[in-house]
């Protein structure tokens, strides 16, 4: 039987303390770097971070918006310092033509501008007391997605099948046709020349504090946060050809 020296015991104790002090949850995206000044800004939430309790907890909203989305913005502003045209071009033009970018920034722009566009849409189409779909949006859901109940079930199933990190979207064409599609990581339908009417984030950072590995429960609960009046505005913009990110 061997015994540790006093020096070894000190090192072991230091290691245990470091582990104990480590964060309990590890997310796919690191904490946001210090905000860099530039053309990209973090859009403010139109509601308090506790607006969706108990469906989405306050801490998740704070981390998701103030850390994850803020990191995408900071990273874009860093790239824009040496690539100023990135900050003046329309987001849909950049994401729709990623191959035009220099290889040295293409990967960074794809992930961070995609993440910025996805999350900007995400915060916009959520809100307390979001009502129900009406008018043209409801008619399109009935026509293209089989009615509200089938639409929600199919949307949730698609989100559940998305392996690893990603998004589940409802895309909308210029003639108002709807479809359910998924994308990996921070990819956005604009990369394929399409537009997102709405979408749900299925990265673990969107739900893990409250739901752990129960993504299906999160997907079902998320419908309580949807703001249908905002979605109606996006639908009208899509048909008018003015829907951007």
* Strand, coil or helix: 184: strand
**Model pLDDT for residues 100-143, shown as the tens digit of each residue:** 999 999 999 999 999 999 999 999 999 998 889 999 999 999 99
CATH class of the domain defined by 57-245: alpha beta
* Strand, coil or helix: 231: helix
Q: Where are the domains of the chain?
A: 57-245
Give the span between the Cα atoms of 69 and 225, in whole angstroms: 19
Helices (H), the chain: 6-21, 58-63, 70-82, 91-95, 103-124, 135-145, 148-161, 208-211, 215-222, 228-240
**Model pLDDT for residues 171-197, shown as the tens digit of each residue:** 999 999 999 999 999 999 999 999 999
* Strand, coil or helix: 205: helix
Bond prior to 54 in cis (omega within 30° of 0)? yes
Residues 6+ apart with CB under 8 A from 164: 184
Q: Could you say which DSSP state residue 29 is in? A: S
**Model pLDDT for residues 11-58, shown as the tens digit of each residue:** 344 443 443 333 333 333 434 444 568 999 999 999 999 999 999 999
Name the residue among 167, 160, 158 with its Cα closest to residue 189: 167
As to burial, measured by CB atoms within 10 angstroms (0-12 exposed, 13-18 middle, 19+ buried), residue 243 is: buried
Q: Kindly state the helix (H) or strand (E) to which residue 200 belongs, with its residue range.
A: strand 196-201
* Secondary structure of 72-121 as H, E, C letters: HHHHHHHHHHHCHHHHCCCHHHHHCCHHHCCHHHHHHHHHHHHHHHHHHH
**Region 190-205 average pLDDT:** 97
**Quick check: 74 and 37 in contact, CB under 8 A?**
no
């Amino acid at each position: 039987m061997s015994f540790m020296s006093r020096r070894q015991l000190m090192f072991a104790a230091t290691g245990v303390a470091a582990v104990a002090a480590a964060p309990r949850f590890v997310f796919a995206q690191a904490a946001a770097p210090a905000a860099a000044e530039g053309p990209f800004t973090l859009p403010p939430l139109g509601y308090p971070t506790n607006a969706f309790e108990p469906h989405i907890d306050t801490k998740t909203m704070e981390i998701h918006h103030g850390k994850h989305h803020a990191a995408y913005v900071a990273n874009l502003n860093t790239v824009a310092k040496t690539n100023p045209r990135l900050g003046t071009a329309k987001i849909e033009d950049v994401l729709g033509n990623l191959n035009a970018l220099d290889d040295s920034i293409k990967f960074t722009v794809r992930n961070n501008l995609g993440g910025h566009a996805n999350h900007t849409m995400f915060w916009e189409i959520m809100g307390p007391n979001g009502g129900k779909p009406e008018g043209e949006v409801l008619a399109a859901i009935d026509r293209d997605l089989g009615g509200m109940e089938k639409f929600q079930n199919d949307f949730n199933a698609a989100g559940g099948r998305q392996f690893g990190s990603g998004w589940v979207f409802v895309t909308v064409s210029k003639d108002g046709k709807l479809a359910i599609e998924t994308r990996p990581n921070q990819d956005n339908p604009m990369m394929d020349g399409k537009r997102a009417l709405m979408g749900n984030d299925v990265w673990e950072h969107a739900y893990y504090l409250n739901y752990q590995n129960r993504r299906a429960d999160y997907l079902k609960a998320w419908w309580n946060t949807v703001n249908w009046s905002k979605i109606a505005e996006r639908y009208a913009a899509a048909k008018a050809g003015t829907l951007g990110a």
